[in-house]
Amino acid sequence: MPDDSSENEFFQVLQNQRRRTVLESLMNKEDGKMTVGELAEKVAVEENNLSSPNKLSTDQRKRVYVALYQTHLVRLEEVGLVRYDKDRGIVELTAEQNKSISLSKIPRLLNLDPSKYYMVVSIFMLSVLLAIEVGLLNLNLFILAASYALIVVLITIGKEVQEKY
């Protein structure tokens, strides 16, 4: 993102769950394109915790469709994340969208609160150091276990990021 104001606008747009669901749905499509109706269906199914679009009521579908059409897709287009052709009812990811999502933004996109994350990690590490110091934990065993845990965490994060983007 070119400057702080556009980055702030980018994150403001992504604070809305419907918009994140739209982006996720588009990212899961090979060509990155969907109709407004398809997106409304995906969002409504997720919002209503349904297993199938067949279980959606007409009102549930319509409520989401109208909100996407009038508000959410317009905002996503304003910040350059999607191209929205109102006449044809087609929404597609833009090339800028791929540039906008960098590794430094992924924790915020995944709704991770950095301050809480670092606090939990710090408390955990202090606990481990204290346990090693008082002899409750063997340092060599801890290093081995931590190495395996790190590998598992990295694989899990990689899969999560790959699924999201």
pLDDT at 1: 41
Is pLDDT at 136 greater than 60 in this prediction?
yes
Higher pLDDT, 37 or 94: 37
pLDDT of residue 104: 46
Q: What is the structure's pLDDT at 30?
A: 80
List, in sequence order, every residue forming a beta bridge with 82; answer none if it has no partner. Answer: 93
What's the whole-model pTM score? Answer: 0.57
Q: Could you tell me if 36 and 69 are in contact, meaning their C-beta atoms sit under 8 angstroms apart?
A: yes
What fold does the segment set 4-101 form as a domain?
Arc Repressor Mutant, subunit A (1.10.10)
pLDDT at 25: 87
Confidence at residue 103, expressed as pLDDT on a 0 to 100 scale: 39
Residue 7 has pLDDT above 90, yes or no: no
Per domain, the residue ranges of the chain are 4-101, 105-164
pLDDT in tens, 54-110: 999 999 999 999 999 999 999 999 888 899 999 999 999 886 544 444 434 545 555
